[in-house]
């Protein structure tokens, strides 16, 4: 090995970093590397359980720093829904070392930006910084991992902000509200039944004690993953990580208590009225987990059905029948089995029932006939384009790496999935459609404009949107 | 670094080369936008550009859509007041075939009657859909009230009446006038060499008619005086959408950068005055920001918040207090030092990908920005002083001529909101499902 390469060999770098570390600091271990297209992701761990994935990308003088915690709304319980999301907001507040507001101020004065996201399986925080400011992200993230201060005024104010976010995304948003109802309808046991935003009554009821307990339970190095992508000196980054996180103690992460969702054997339907101009239709079938081999097949099937202007449903609903203004489909990318969702918005003068008839007919075709090879090839090309687009920026790459590592334990799974897409055949799609698109295991939400009665003769329940009771 | 290349044609061509990912980004932009739609034909620019993928010589709409997908490509139309841009991306291995396809769409559009009628019906349905999105309603009403009959007050999508009136003849005439070599700007970013770019540009533009850039007759906007409230009335709103603003800046103003920097201090970051007071201290709104928009002529300065209905009035009162204090007392040296650090260091993220760098060059060309608008950005920001920033704010932002647009339920909020605006000179209630979200000729006083 040439001398220069030897100097940058991970084991050599780790040896130097550990030798320079203060006594009692968690040691760094090199765990191997993963091919990431033409680049390489290297995996390290700290002795306290913190996982680290690094990708050196010198194409721009910037660095993206993601911290993924293995906690999301699935780890909440009824009566305390929305806690993971509220907590994400609180993480931008006071620590033992920083007064309220200083976290953002320090980032901004260094030209950095930050944000965060919470979902069913995880929570992440990210900073985008000029490359020479990496140490700031490590300093701030390591600080708030263990020294957050949770006081009544901050919790109260942040509850207000979260309640407003909920109004924005759900209460005053037809699609947000319908999506929430759909999950509530489809899941009866699994925690995916409640929204990541949380029910409003639960948000209003949180106390600083709830937040403190949540923090001490889930925010620890052994429940976290740090992903760094950018123009960095890898050895220096490892040294900074060790200094920042090396004194953190690991925690005992409680075993998960998520109940598996029992098979759904009857169609469930909910009808609501909202201040909207036209009818909307939402349907969800129970789908595979992200790690299931069928997930790639269903993703191809969704592209054939709903992927863009040449897709079957766009043509059927928007172009040919002209009864919808828009439609979409999505295969849930969850650790446990999620939903396959299809939705459409009716044009004026058309009804949710008409939308459903067309969607049902197209889904029946998928079960009864094979899709064409050309449709499959188009779907594959669209998905390949989408993966390439996600790799254009350092933050895009860091997000892909962190997401797939957190959910599947494989930072390069995006490329594994591309390979899986390439193997999908028309008969695979028909098999998956038959397996997952069973009418008796679906859930439906129909939305009608205020003042408009649902079709006469419907014997399903009607409900105001605030009533979350499902009707089976 | 973006380069301007000679493709041997009359169109301006830019290239931002980057071979990290096998992806090619393409921009095909016109130097004219919805501000140049004929009177009574609002939405014509957008419809004409969208028609390009609905029929070309030997290709019907379905064949075109299938081909785009098969090649691993995508394309979308983005309409602004001063330009219309077709943004496309394609996997590198298909770039030649994709350019050939785009060249046919641009060079031999057929504007089939049945496709135009279908697109018009789609557009009308999309206009209906916007009624579900309160933020869009607020933006639409703000534009209408701020710019009145000026071209910047128009909706790019058009209105129900104007869209219905568009004919194949209109679209063909619009195409013939605007899609000429001299009126088109082309850009490539990504896995493309200069030789590729010149060849691709020729493939895209070879069949366009000759012709110079279309004259831009859009003049400076004027707005009504006084403090005005437009309440877009929508039932059952638990939350409001609020836009407060006035005429703002023009990129050629000598104090343009000074005003932009001061605006960043006021509402451009997470720790700005507006965010701190509205969200951090009071929790009233998930977001709170201010911006000074730019175009070829003077655009608007605006503040955006979305508090719960019961907080709407106090939030407006607070925003007005903050605005008055900012205009009267200005910014501090400490605030200026802070924002300069932020703007200069975060500049790396404005140019960290090839498409972003390309779009800066294309924007300079399309919006007729000063040549060093982006390349000299860091120097311009560094040159701003407390005095120049404060003078720019005082000179440009007239708080006595102020527009407040609120989307909410009038029965619940009209009274407290009108009381929260000192010196209110007029107010009007507009139903959210009105065809045009603007006050009638005689708003209530």
Tens digits of residue pLDDT in B183-216: 999 999 999 999 999 999 999 999 999 999 999 9
Each residue's pLDDT tens digit, A10-25: 999 999 999 999 888 9
- pLDDT of A139 higher than 90: yes
Q: Report the 10 Å Cβ neighbour count for B444.
A: 11
B321's torsion region: left (phi>0), alpha (psi -120 to 50) or beta? alpha
Tell me the shortest Cα–Cα distance from A440 to chain B, in angstroms.
Answer: 31
Is the Cβ of B74 closer than 8 Å to some Cβ of chain A? yes
Residue B276's closest chain A neighbor by CA?
A101
The stretch B291-297 carries a mean pLDDT of 97
Q: Where do the domains of chain A lie? A: 3-245, 268-449
Q: Are residues B92 and B164 in the same domain?
A: yes
The stretch A97-120 carries a mean pLDDT of 94
Each residue's pLDDT tens digit, A266-279: 999 999 999 888 99
Q: Which is the catalytic residue, given A31, A33, A39, A88? A: A88
Contact indicator for A234, A8 with CB cutoff of 8 Å:
yes
Residue B94's closest chain A neighbor by CA?
A381
**3-state secondary structure (DSSP) of residue B243:** strand
**Per-position DSSP letters for B267-305, written without gaps between them:** HSSTTSHHHIIIIIIT--EEEEEEEE---SS--EEEEEE
Note whether residue B354 is domain-resident.
Answer: yes
**Interchain pair B22, A112: CB under 8 A:** no
Query: What's the whole-model pTM score?
Result: 0.92
- The angle, 0 to 180 degrees and rounded to 10, between the axes of the packed helices A413-423 and A293-306 is 70
Tell me if A3-245 shares its fold with A268-449: yes
Tell me the shortest Cα–Cα distance from B391 to chain A, in angstroms.
Answer: 24
Nearest to A118 by CA among A48, A152, A166: A166
Superfamily holding A268-449? Metalloenzyme, LuxS/M16 peptidase-like (3.30.830.10)
Each residue's pLDDT tens digit, A294-323: 999 999 999 999 999 999 999 999 999 999
The Cα B136–Cα B407 span in angstroms is 10
- Element of type H or E holding B84: strand B84-91
The stretch B228-238 carries a mean pLDDT of 95
Res A7: pLDDT: 73
Q: Are strands B84-91 and B300-307 parallel, antiparallel or unpaired?
A: unpaired
- pLDDT of A3 higher than 70: no
- pLDDT of A1 higher than 70: no
Superfamily holding A3-245? Metalloenzyme, LuxS/M16 peptidase-like (3.30.830.10)
Res A8: pLDDT: 79
Note whether residue B212 is domain-resident.
Answer: no
Write phi, then psi, for A186 (nearest 5 degrees).
Answer: -80, -30
Q: Are residues B136 and B268 in the same domain?
A: no
The Cα A49–Cα A30 span in angstroms is 13
Each residue's pLDDT tens digit, A253-270: 999 888 899 999 999 999
Nearest to B285 by CA among B297, B267, B301, B258: B267
- pLDDT of A45 higher than 70: yes
Contact indicator for A293, A420 with CB cutoff of 8 Å:
yes
**CATH number of the domain that residue B294 is part of:** 3.30.830.10
Number of domains in chain B: 2
Chain B residues closer than 8 Å to A326 by CB: 126, 129
Q: Are residues B198 and B258 in the same domain?
A: no
Res B6: pLDDT: 79
Model confidence at B441, pLDDT cuts 50, 70, 90, reads low
- The angle, 0 to 180 degrees and rounded to 10, between the axes of the packed helices A426-436 and A352-368 is 130
Which of B72, B121, B237 is opposite residue A381, by nearest beta carbon? B72
Tell me the shortest Cα–Cα distance from A310 to chain B, in angstroms.
Answer: 5
Q: Are residues B196 and B270 in the same domain?
A: no
Is A88 a catalytic site residue?
Answer: yes
The Cα A218–Cα A215 span in angstroms is 6
* Best residue of B117, B238, B409 to probe chain A, by most A CBs closer than 10 Å: B238
Of the listed ranges A138-142, A457-461, B171-175, B190-194, the least confidently predicted one is A457-461
The Cα B57–Cα B62 span in angstroms is 13
Identify the residue whose tokens are 């039932």.
B235
Model confidence at B437, pLDDT cuts 50, 70, 90, reads confident
The stretch A422-440 carries a mean pLDDT of 97
Contact indicator for A406, A334 with CB cutoff of 8 Å:
no
The stretch B102-112 carries a mean pLDDT of 97
Note whether residue B441 is domain-resident.
Answer: no
**Interchain pair B65, A168: CB under 8 A:** no
Res B445: pLDDT: 34
Which of A113, A161, A324 is opposite residue B286, by nearest beta carbon? A161
Contact indicator for A131, A202 with CB cutoff of 8 Å:
no
B415-419, long-range: CB within 8 Å, 24+ apart, which pairs?
A: B416/B312, B416/B313, B417/B229, B417/B231, B417/B312, B417/B313, B417/B316, B418/B229, B419/B313
Compute the residue count for chain B: 445
- pLDDT of A468 higher than 60: no
- pLDDT of A467 higher than 80: no
How far separated are the first and last CA of chain B, in Å rounded? 55
User: What's the whole-number average pLDDT of chain A?
Assistant: 93
Residue-range definition of the domain harbouring residue B314: 227-431
**3-state secondary structure (DSSP) of residue A470:** coil
- pLDDT of B284 higher than 70: yes
Instruction: Please report, to the nearest 10 degrees, the dihedral formed by the alpha carbons of residues A306, A309, A311, A317 taken in order.
Output: 80
Q: Report the 10 Å Cβ neighbour count for A5.
A: 9
- pLDDT of A461 higher than 60: no
């Amino acid at each position: 090995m040439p001398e220069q390469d030897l100097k940058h060999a991970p084991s050599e770098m780790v040896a130097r970093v550990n030798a320079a570390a203060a006594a009692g600091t968690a040691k760094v271990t090199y765990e191997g590397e993963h091919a990431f297209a033409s680049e390489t992701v290297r995996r390290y761990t700290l002795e306290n359980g913190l996982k680290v994935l690094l990708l050196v990308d010198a194409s721009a003088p910037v660095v993206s720093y993601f911290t993924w915690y293995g906690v999301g709304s699935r780890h909440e319980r009824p009566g305390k829904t929305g806690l993971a999301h509220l907590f994400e907001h609180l993480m931008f507040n006071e620590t033992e070392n920083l007064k309220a507001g200083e976290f953002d101020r320090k980032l901004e004065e260094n030209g950095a930006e930050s944000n965060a996201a919470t979902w069913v399986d995880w929570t992440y925080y990210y900073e985008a910084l000029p490359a020479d400011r990496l140490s700031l992200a490590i300093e701030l993230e390591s600080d708030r991992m263990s020294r957050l201060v949770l006081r009544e005024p901050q919790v109260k104010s942040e509850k207000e902000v979260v309640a407003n976010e909920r109004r924005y995304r759900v209460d005053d948003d037809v699609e947000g509200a319908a999506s929430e109802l759909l999950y509530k309808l489809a899941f009866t046991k699994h925690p995916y039944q409640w929204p990541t935003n949380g029910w409003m009554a639960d948000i209003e009821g949180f106390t600083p004690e709830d937040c403190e307990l949540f923090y001490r339970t889930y925010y620890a190095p052994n429940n976290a993953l740090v992903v760094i992508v950018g123009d960095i000196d890898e050895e220096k980054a490892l040294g900074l990580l060790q200094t920042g996180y090396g004194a953190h103690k690991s925690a005992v992460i409680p075993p998960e208590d998520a109940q598996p969702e029992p098979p759904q054997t009857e169609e469930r339907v909910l009808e609501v009225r909202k201040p909207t101009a036209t009818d909307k239709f939402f349907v969800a079938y129970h789908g595979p987990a992200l790690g299931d081999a069928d997930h790639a097949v269903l993703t191809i099937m969704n592209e054939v059905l709903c992927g863009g202007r040449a897709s079957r449903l766009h043509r059927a609903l928007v172009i040919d029948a002209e009864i919808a203004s828009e439609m979409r489909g999505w295969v849930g990318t969850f650790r446990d089995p999620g939903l396959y969702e299809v939705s459409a918005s009716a044009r004026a003068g058309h009804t949710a029932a008409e939308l459903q008839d067309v969607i049902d007919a197209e889904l029946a075709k998928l079960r009864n006939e094979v899709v064409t090879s050309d449709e499959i090839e188009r779907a594959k090309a669209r998905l390949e384009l989408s993966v390439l687009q996600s790799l254009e920026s350092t933050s895009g790459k860091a997000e892909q790496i962190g997401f797939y590592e957190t959910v599947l334990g494989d930072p390069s799974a995006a490329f594994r999935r591309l390979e899986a897409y390439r193997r999908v055949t028309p008969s695979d799609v028909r098999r998956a459609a038959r397996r997952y698109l069973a009418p008796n295991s679906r859930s439906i939400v129909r939305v009608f404009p205020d003042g408009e009665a649902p079709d006469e003769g419907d014997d399903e329940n009607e409900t105001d949107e605030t009533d979350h009771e499902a009707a089976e | 670094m973006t380069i301007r290349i000679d493709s041997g044609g009359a169109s301006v061509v830019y290239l931002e080369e980057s071979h990290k990912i096998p992806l090619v980004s393409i921009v095909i932009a016109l130097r004219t936008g919805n501000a140049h739609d004929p009177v009574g034909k609002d939405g014509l620019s957008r419809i004409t550009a969208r028609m390009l993928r609905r029929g070309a010589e030997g290709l019907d709409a379905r064949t075109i859509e299938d081909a785009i997908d098969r090649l691993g490509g995508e394309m979308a139309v983005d309409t602004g007041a001063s330009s219309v841009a077709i943004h496309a991306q394609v996997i590198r291995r298909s770039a030649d075939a994709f350019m050939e396809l785009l060249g046919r769409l641009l060079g031999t559009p057929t504007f089939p009657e049945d496709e135009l009628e279908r697109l018009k019906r789609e557009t009308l349905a999309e206009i209906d859909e916007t009624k579900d999105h309160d933020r869009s309603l607020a933006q639409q009403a703000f534009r209408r009230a701020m710019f009145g009959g000026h071209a910047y007050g128009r909706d790019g999508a058009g209105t129900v009446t104007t869209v219905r009136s568009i004919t194949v003849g209109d679209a063909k005439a619009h195409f013939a006038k605007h899609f000429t070599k001299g009126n088109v700007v082309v850009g490539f970013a990504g896995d493309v060499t200069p030789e590729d770019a010149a060849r691709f540009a020729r493939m895209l533009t070879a069949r366009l008619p000759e012709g110079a850039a279309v004259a831009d007759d859009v003049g400076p906007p004027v707005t009504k005086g006084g403090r005005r409230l437009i309440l877009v009335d929508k039932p059952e709103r638990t939350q409001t959408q609020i836009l407060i603003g006035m005429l703002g800046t023009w990129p050629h103003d000598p104090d343009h950068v000074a005003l932009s920097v001061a605006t960043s201090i006021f509402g451009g970051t997470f720790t700005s005055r507006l965010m701190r007071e509205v969200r951090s201290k009071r929790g009233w709104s998930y977001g709170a920001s201010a911006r000074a928009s730019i175009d070829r002529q003077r655009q608007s300065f605006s503040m955006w918040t979305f508090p719960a209905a019961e907080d709407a009035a106090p939030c407006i009162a607070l925003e007005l207090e903050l605005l008055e204090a900012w205009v009267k007392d200005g910014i501090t040296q400490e605030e200026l030092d802070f924002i300069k650090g932020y703007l200069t260091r975060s500049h790396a993220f404005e140019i960290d990908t090839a498409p972003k760098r390309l779009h800066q060059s294309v924007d300079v060309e399309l919006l007729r920005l000063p040549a060093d608008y982006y390349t000299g950005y860091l120097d311009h920001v560094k040159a701003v002083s407390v005095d120049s920033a404060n003078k720019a704010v005082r000179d440009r932002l007239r708080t006595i001529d102020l527009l407040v647009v609120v989307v909410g339920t009038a029965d619940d909020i009209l009274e407290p909101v009108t009381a929260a605006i000192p010196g209110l000179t007029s107010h009007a209630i507009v139903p959210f499902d009105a065809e045009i979200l603007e006050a009638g000729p005689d708003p209530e006083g």
